Every structure is written in structure tokens, then in C-alpha cells.
């Protein structure tokens, strides 16, 4: 028996899968090449979107000096901040109610309902909100940011809910039992044990909701009142007229902000147990 | 009968039924009274209800029926945070976001003890479990054995009336487990707190306990000292669960049991067993074997297997009746003559070593 016995391979080896590398390279190219071109041309000195004329920060300067951009950016940040905050509070309570209670009839139903905004096509929600808010606007004459905020809050809730729930599900339930055993009242159990342990999930949920809100075009476009441009809707409006590298510069900034937040999200959701 | 002041915990006819498609009767009319300052062990196979009984005492599960008394007071309806009872959990359940010292301080802080008293008690506890050097560490940065000691210190710090231990040694390796067994005995002596210990490990139960309750299928089968449980088990289940056993058929007449395989033995039958055919227990170490023809009160047997295990040799024998019998013989330094495999032999049983079983 001099022939070595071949060990059965455990699972698949990426190296030995034929064609895997080609598909992987093509996929990453298709995903990131256009974005890289956009980022590169945001630093273009010339006005062309196709011809490289040297490095410059002029479009960033121009974007920063543009009052319409400033106003839209501030509005976007306020909107995302408020909507993500409200959504995170609601999502935290929902996550507690769906994981830290005895099973009750309809719990799975509630879980499905919370996540439903992920399934419903955004355009349908947008049209529905447009109609309902139009009634309210006509009836009350009120046209503040409250419509945008409530719409954004609603679609942010499932995004905040999922990481918080995931965190709660991996948390050892006996820790709360132990706190109770050590004379902690229900409120103390929550404030001293449950909340500190679920905090990374809450932060992750907040950041995800923030990015989703910052990024939204469809619902915002339908719900906003006149003059309530957010950064994405402002950019959409600009593109209808003339495309300048200023758009590239704004896109790059949003991209960077999003990348930082999403990286933080992954880091936190992986973080300490 | 002991007075209330000597009774730490008393369970009166407690049943716990978990509803569902298949209703589970985890505790079935359990009554037990646990003395103050006692090391009491609930022993049984997994699913026998021992952990459920512990959780009922801790207050994590309300009993479906029955009442629970602590030092004479009915605490059946008291939530866990109002019971002067603390638990050492199987997985320790240390708070991962707190240091060792903060874990130990938790119960005292929740009781609203003044700061310097908390600090002093935490220091005492750290010394008691020999963890002074690691007080500032996170609980994820210490070993399993150290986590175990922190869990003990945390549960002992508020000086509860009763300490509940839910298989706390099962995650440790053998050597550490032996050390912790001695450590637990020492802690119980030093603190004078009643310990209720849950385990499925019969050796652990026999080594540490003052009294043991053997449980199966939601019922307590027998309560007694380790010696009583081992030497005079009431039922076949208890005999089988604790130590090695031989079960033989016999005929009981008064205080004499005549084995089917031969030999009459004086016995002390438990209550409720009447004359006639009974099952008796003989521990393997109470049987001795020699080469040669059987004399009076001996049984003829054939040696089927010889198993050497260092300090003893176990002979697997087949009796004339076809019954199997294990005999465990200590190995002497000279190595006395033992019957070899396949040979005929005679088996005798030590006086008083035959125990009549209830079923």
C-alpha cells in the first residue's frame, strides 16, 4: 500500500473551481469600474466627462460653494438624522418585543409586517404616500418636512430592526436571568444588562437606517413639497439639465460617507460579544 | 421531625406541567425538605426534572401546583429578584461587559448596599475564591475554571439563604472538576450557606453531598445520605443509576432471601415489599470468587470474561440459572490465584450485602 490515500475534499476549494476567477474578476469590474471612473473624473481639471485634463479640486470647490447644494446637503443630513433616530427607537422596541417575550400568537406575523417595507416595491409606497399626504396637505395646508420625516422613518424601521434583532438573538438569555436572580428589578435588568449588550446592534441599526435615508430618491421625489430638495433629488434635477463634474464630486462625497458608515456597521456588528 | 428553623427549603407537592401539543410533566408531585447548612444534591439523568426543580426554587418557573417555602415562609409567588436565593448557572452567565469585580458587586449593588460595604464584600469574595489578582480583568479574558470561581463568588456575595448550583462543573475537565469539588465543599463549610447542587454525575453526588435525592421522570425516588443511597437503594432505578449493580431473582420469606442461583441471606426488606418473588441487588465488590466446587451458600458459576483495571479485576460470570453476575475483586500485591476465563468457579456474597428492591 505505497499509494497515498486521497483524502476526500472538505467542501469546495475556490482555487479548483473552473472559471470561478474569471467570473469573479468580471463581476467586480462591472460593479466598481464605473464608480472608479466617476471618482476619478470628479478630480478632472476640465469640464469634460470623458477627457482627462489633469488633477484639480475645482469641482469640489464649486459644489461646496453652491448654495443649492449646501441647502440640499443640510436638509438630507437633518432628514436622515431625525428619521434614523426615530426609526431606531421604534426598531429597538420592536426587536425587544419580538425576542424578549414569551411566544405569543401572531409574533411571526408581526415579524413579517415589520419587514414588509423591504418587500413592497418602493414606487408603490411612494405613490401611496403621495396620495395620502396630498389629502392631508389639502386638508391642513401644512407643508413642512414632517411628511418626508415620517416617510423616511417608516422605510428605515426594517433596516434598523434587522441588526438589532440579530444582536438580541445571539445574546445569551441566561444573562438577563442571572441579573434577575441577583436582585435586579426588570428596569435594572434592562438598563444594566440588556441595553449595554445590545448597544452595538443599536448603533449598527442606526447607521444602516441613516445611509438608507440619505440615499433615497424615489419616495423622497414623490413626497417632498416644493423646494424641499435633498441631495439625491437635487442631483437628479441637475442631471436633467446639464451634466457637470460637480455631480461627480458630490457623488464621491456621498460615496465616501456611505462607505465609512457601512464599514463601521460591519465592524460593530462583528465586534465584541 | 425538624422544626422550621432547621429547614431551609421545603417543596410541598410541587408539580410543573409545560403545556403544548405533548404536555410535559417535568415535576410530578415532588415533596422535599432541605435542611439549613446542608449540601443537598439532586441527582438524575437528563430530563428527570432536577433542573426544573432548581428553577422553581430560584423563581424562574412558577410551579403549576404545590407550594414552596423558604425558612417557613411561602415564596411560591415571589419573583426571582425578591428571593434570597442565588444561582450558579451551568454556563456561568457572567456579564461580558463587566470586569470580574463588577460582576461580583452586581448583586450587592442591586440590593442597594453602601459603596464601601460593596467594595469590602467584593474583596472578601475575591479572596475566598482566590481571584484577587484578576479582579480588573474582563470575564472573557479568564479561563473556564476561573470563570467558574467568579460565578460562585458572584452568587455568594449577597450571602443568600440558599445557593443553587446547576451542573456547574460539567464544562470543566476531569482534573479541574476534582479540584472544584473540594473547593465547593470548602466554600460551603466556610460560608455556612445551604447548597442545592444539581448533577447527573453519581460520583460527584456521592463525594460532595450530605444528602442526595435521586430523581427520574419528574419524581424523587429516594432521599438519603450517600451511604444509604449506595448501600440501600430502594428501587432498581436508583441501584442502577448509582454505581455498578447485579440484579438477581430471589424468594423472600420474612427476613430471609433465598437466591434462585443458590444461598440464603439475611435481609432487611424495605416497606411495602411482601413475601414471594423479589429482585435483589448485589454490588460487584461484595461478591467474591474462588476456584472449586460450591459449598453451602455459594453459587456455581462459569467465568466468561476477565477484565483487569489496575486496582481491581472484574470477572463477568454466568450463574447456573443463566443470570449474569459481575464480581469486582481487589488486586493484591502478590496477585492471588483468580479463576481464568472459561473455568468453573464458586461465588459467595458478603453477609448483609444482599438488598431487596421495591420493584
pLDDT in tens, A146-203: 999 999 999 999 999 999 999 999 888 899 999 999 999 999 999 999 999 999 899 9
Measured between beta carbons, the chain A residues lying within 8 angstroms of B111 are 183
Q: Would you say residue A268 has pLDDT above 80?
A: no
Q: Which three cell numbers stand for residue B319?
A: 450463574
Q: Searching chain B, which residue's CA lies closest to the CA of residue A198? A: B97
Residue A121 sits in the same domain as residue A34: no
| Rounded (5°) CA angle B106-A185-B20 | 115
Q: Are the Cβ atoms of B81 and A175 closer than 8 angstroms?
A: no
**Residue A11, min C-alpha distance to chain B (Å):** 31
Contact B280, B248 (CB under 8 A): yes
Q: Would you say residue B218 has pLDDT above 80?
A: yes
pLDDT, residue B3, reads 44
pLDDT, residue A89, reads 96
Q: Which residue in A69, A74, A225, A216 sits closest to A136, CA to CA?
A: A225
Residue A21 sits in the same domain as residue A51: yes
Q: Would you say residue A68 has pLDDT above 60?
A: yes
Q: Tens of pLDDT along B126-179?
A: 998 889 999 999 998 999 889 999 999 999 999 999 999 999 888 888 888 888
**Mean pLDDT for chain A overall:** 87
**Residue showing cell 463549610:** B189
Domain contains A4: no
Q: Which three cell numbers stand for residue A101?
A: 417575550
Residue A49 sits in the same domain as residue A72: no
Domain contains A9: no
Contact B328, B290 (CB under 8 A): no
Q: Which of A7, A23, A56 is the last residue of a domain?
A: A56
Helix B144-156 vs helix B100-110: crossing angle, to nearest 10: 20
DSSP notation for chain A? --SPPPPPP-S--GGGSTTHHHHHHHHHHHHHHHHHHHHHHHTBSSS-SSS---B--HHHHHHHH-HHHHHHHHHHHHHHHHHHHHHHHHHHHHHHHHHSS---TTHHHHHHHHHHHHHS-HHHHHHHHHHHHHHHHHHH---STHHHHHHHHHHHHHHHHHHHHHHHHHS-HHHHHHHHHTT--HHHIIIIIIHHHHHHHHHHHHHHHHHHHHH--HHHHHHPPTT---HHHHHHHHHHH---HHHHHHHHHHHHHHHHHHHHHHHHHHS--
Domain contains A10: no
**Residue A204, min C-alpha distance to chain B (Å):** 18
Q: Kindly state whether A128 is in contact with chain B, defined as any CB-CB distance less than 8 angstroms.
A: no
Q: Searching chain B, which residue's CA lies closest to the CA of residue A176? A: B93
SS3 (DSSP) at B141 = helix
Residue A44 sits in the same domain as residue A122: no
Q: Which of B92, B99, B106 to mutate to test the interface with A (most CBs of A within 10 A)?
A: B106
Q: Searching chain A, which residue's CA lies closest to the CA of residue B57? A: A181
- Partners of B326 in beta bridges: B316
pLDDT, residue B2, reads 43
The conformation of residue B172, written as its DSSP 8-state character, comes to: S
Domain contains A3: no
The pTM of this model reads 0.81
Spatial distance between the Cα atoms of B86 and B161, rounded to a whole number of angstroms: 8
Burial (CB < 10 A; 0-12, 13-18, 19+), residue B127, is: exposed
Helix A107-119 vs helix A67-99: crossing angle, to nearest 10: 160
Q: Kindly state whether A190 is in contact with chain B, defined as any CB-CB distance less than 8 angstroms.
A: no
Residue A24 sits in the same domain as residue A129: no
Q: Could you tell me which residue, B270 or B337, shows the higher pLDDT?
A: B270
Residue A102 sits in the same domain as residue A27: no
**Residue showing cell 433465598:** B258
Q: Are the Cβ atoms of A178 and B89 closer than 8 angstroms?
A: yes
> Percent of chain A, pLDDT > 90?
45
ipTM: 0.83
Residue A118 sits in the same domain as residue A148: yes
Spatial distance between the Cα atoms of B255 and B170, rounded to a whole number of angstroms: 42
Contact B34, B7 (CB under 8 A): yes
Q: Kindly state whether B60 is in contact with chain A, defined as any CB-CB distance less than 8 angstroms.
A: yes
pLDDT, residue A8, reads 56
Burial (CB < 10 A; 0-12, 13-18, 19+), residue A176, is: buried
Domain contains A223: yes
Spatial distance between the Cα atoms of B346 and B303, rounded to a whole number of angstroms: 10
Q: Which residue in B352, B311, B343, B305 sits closest to B324, CA to CA?
A: B305
Q: Are the Cβ atoms of B81 and A182 closer than 8 angstroms?
A: yes
Residue A144 sits in the same domain as residue A195: yes
pLDDT, residue A4, reads 54
Contact B110, B81 (CB under 8 A): yes
- Partners of B313 in beta bridges: B308, B329
Q: Tens of pLDDT along B22-67?
A: 888 999 999 999 999 999 999 999 989 999 999 999 999 999 999 9
Q: Tens of pLDDT along A70-122?
A: 999 999 999 999 999 999 999 999 999 888 877 788 888 888 888 888 888 99
pLDDT, residue B1, reads 43
The conformation of residue B99, written as its DSSP 8-state character, comes to: B
Measured between beta carbons, the chain A residues lying within 8 angstroms of B93 are 172, 174-175, 177-178
**Residue showing cell 464601601:** B116
Residue A119 sits in the same domain as residue A46: no
Q: Are the Cβ atoms of A182 and B107 closer than 8 angstroms?
A: yes
Q: Could you tell me which residue, B2 or A240, shows the higher pLDDT?
A: A240
Residue A33 sits in the same domain as residue A70: no
CA atoms within 13 A on the CB side of B211: 15
**Mean pLDDT for chain B overall:** 91
Q: Kindly state whether B21 is in contact with chain A, defined as any CB-CB distance less than 8 angstroms.
A: no
Residue A214 sits in the same domain as residue A176: yes
Domain that residue A47 falls in: 15-56
Measured between beta carbons, the chain A residues lying within 8 angstroms of B75 are none
Q: Are the Cβ atoms of A181 and B110 closer than 8 angstroms?
A: no
Q: Which residue in B12, B139, B68 sits closest to A178, CA to CA?
A: B139
Residue A50 sits in the same domain as residue A120: no
Q: Would you say residue B200 has pLDDT above 90?
A: yes
Domain contains A6: no
Q: Which residue in B256, B249, B245 sits closest to B278, CA to CA?
A: B249
Domain contains A253: yes
Domain contains A236: yes
Q: Kindly state whether A100 is in contact with chain B, defined as any CB-CB distance less than 8 angstroms.
A: no
Domain total for chain A?
2
Q: Which of A172, A178, A183 sits opposite B158 (nearest CB)?
A: A183
Confidence of residue A242 (pLDDT cuts 50, 70, 90): confident
- Partners of B220 in beta bridges: B215
Angular region, A159: left φ>0, alpha ψ -120 to 50, beta rest:
alpha
Lowest mean pLDDT among B35-44, B223-232, B330-339: B330-339
Amino acid at each position: 500500500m505505497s499509494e497515498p490515500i486521497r483524502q476526500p475534499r472538505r467542501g469546495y476549494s475556490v482555487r479548483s473551481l473552473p472559471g470561478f476567477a474569471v467570473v469573479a474578476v468580471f463581476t467586480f469590474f462591472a460593479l466598481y469600474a464605473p464608480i472608479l471612473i466617476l471618482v476619478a473624473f470628479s478630480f478632472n481639471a476640465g469640464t469634460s466627462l470623458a477627457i482627462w485634463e489633469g488633477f484639480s479640486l475645482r469641482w469640489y470647490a464649486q459644489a461646496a460653494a453652491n448654495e443649492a447644494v449646501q441647502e440640499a446637503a443640510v436638509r438630507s443630513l437633518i432628514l436622515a438624522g431625525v428619521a434614523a433616530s426615530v426609526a431606531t427607537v421604534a426598531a429597538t422596541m420592536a426587536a425587544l418585543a419580538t425576542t424578549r417575550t414569551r411566544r405569543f400568537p401572531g409574533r411571526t406575523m408581526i415579524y413579517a409586517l415589520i419587514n414588509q417595507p423591504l418587500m413592497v416595491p418602493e414606487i408603490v409606497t411612494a405613490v401611496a404616500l403621495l396620495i395620502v399626504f396630498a389629502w392631508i396637505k389639502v386638508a391642513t395646508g401644512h407643508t413642512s418636512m414632517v411628511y418626508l420625516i415620517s416617510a423616511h422613518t417608516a422605510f428605515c424601521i426594517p433596516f434598523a430592526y434587522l441588526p438589532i434583532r440579530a444582536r438580541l438573538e445571539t445574546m445569551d438569555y441566561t444573562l438577563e436571568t442571572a441579573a434577575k436572580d441577583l436582585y435586579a428589578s426588570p428596569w435594572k435588568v434592562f438598563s444594566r444588562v440588556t441595553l449595554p449588550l445590545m448597544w452595538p446592534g443599536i448603533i449598527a441599526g442606526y447607521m444602516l437606517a441613516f445611509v438608507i435615508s440619505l440615499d433615497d430618491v424615489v419616495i423622497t421625489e414623490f413626497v417632498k413639497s416644493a423646494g424641499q430638495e435633498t441631495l439625491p433629488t437635487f442631483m437628479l434635477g441637475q442631471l436633467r439639465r446639464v451634466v457637470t463634474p460637480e455631480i461627480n464630486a458630490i457623488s464621491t462625497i456621498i460615496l465616501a460617507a456611505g462607505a465609512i458608515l457601512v464599514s463601521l456597521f460591519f465592524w460593530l456588528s462583528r465586534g465584541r460579544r | 421531625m425538624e422544626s422550621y428553623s432547621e429547614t431551609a427549603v421545603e417543596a410541598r407537592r410541587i408539580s410543573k406541567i409545560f403545556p403544548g401539543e405533548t404536555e410535559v410533566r417535568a415535576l410530578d408531585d415532588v415533596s422535599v425538605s432541605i435542611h439549613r447548612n446542608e449540601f443537598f444534591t439532586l441527582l438524575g439523568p437528563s430530563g428527570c426534572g432536577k433542573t426544573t426543580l432548581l428553577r422553581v426554587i430560584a423563581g424562574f418557573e412558577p410551579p403549576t401546583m404545590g407550594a414552596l417555602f423558604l425558612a417557613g415562609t411561602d415564596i411560591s409567588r415571589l419573583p426571582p429578584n425578591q428571593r434570597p436565593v442565588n444561582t450558579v448557572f451551568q454556563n456561568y452567565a457572567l456579564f461580558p461587559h463587566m470586569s470580574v469585580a463588577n460582576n461580583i458587586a452586581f448583586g450587592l449593588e442591586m440590593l442597594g448596599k453602601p459603596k464601601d460595604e460593596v467594595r469590602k464584600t467584593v474583596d472578601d469574595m475575591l479572596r475566598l475564591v482566590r481571584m484577587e489578582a484578576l479582579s480588573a480583568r474582563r470575564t472573557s479574558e479568564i479561563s473556564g475554571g476561573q470563570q467558574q470561581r467568579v460565578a460562585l463568588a458572584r452568587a455568594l456575595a449577597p450571602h443568600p439563604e440558599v445557593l443553587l448550583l446547576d451542573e456547574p462543573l460539567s464544562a470543566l475537565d476531569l482534573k479541574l472538576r476534582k479540584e472544584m469539588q473540594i473547593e465547593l465543599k470548602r466554600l460551603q463549610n466556610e460560608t455556612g450557606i445551604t447548597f442545592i447542587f444539581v448533577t447527573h454525575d453519581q460520583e460527584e453526588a456521592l463525594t460532595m453531598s450530605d444528602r442526595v435525592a435521586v430523581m427520574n421522570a419528574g419524581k424523587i425516588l429516594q432521599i438519603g445520605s450517600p451511604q444509604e443511597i449506595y448501600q440501600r437503594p430502594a428501587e432498581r432505578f436508583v441501584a442502577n443509576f448509582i454505581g455498578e449493580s447485579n440484579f438477581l431473582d430471589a424468594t423472600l420469606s420474612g427476613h430471609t432471601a433465598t437466591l434462585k442461583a443458590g444461598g440464603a441471606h439475611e435481609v432487611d426488606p424495605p416497606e411495602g415489599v411482601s413475601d414471594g418473588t423479589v429482585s435483589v441487588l448485589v454490588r460487584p465488590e461484595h461478591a467474591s470468587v474462588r476456584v472449586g466446587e460450591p459449598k453451602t451458600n455459594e453459587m456455581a458459576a462459569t467465568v466468561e470474561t476477565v477484565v483487569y483495571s489496575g486496582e481491581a479485576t472484574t470477572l463477568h460470570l454466568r450463574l447456573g440459572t443463566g443470570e449474569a453476575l459481575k464480581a469486582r475483586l481487589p488486586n493484591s500485591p502478590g496477585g492471588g490465584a483468580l479463576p481464568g476465563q472459561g473455568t468453573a468457579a464458586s461465588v459467595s456474597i458478603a453477609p448483609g450485602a444482599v438488598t431487596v428492591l421495591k420493584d
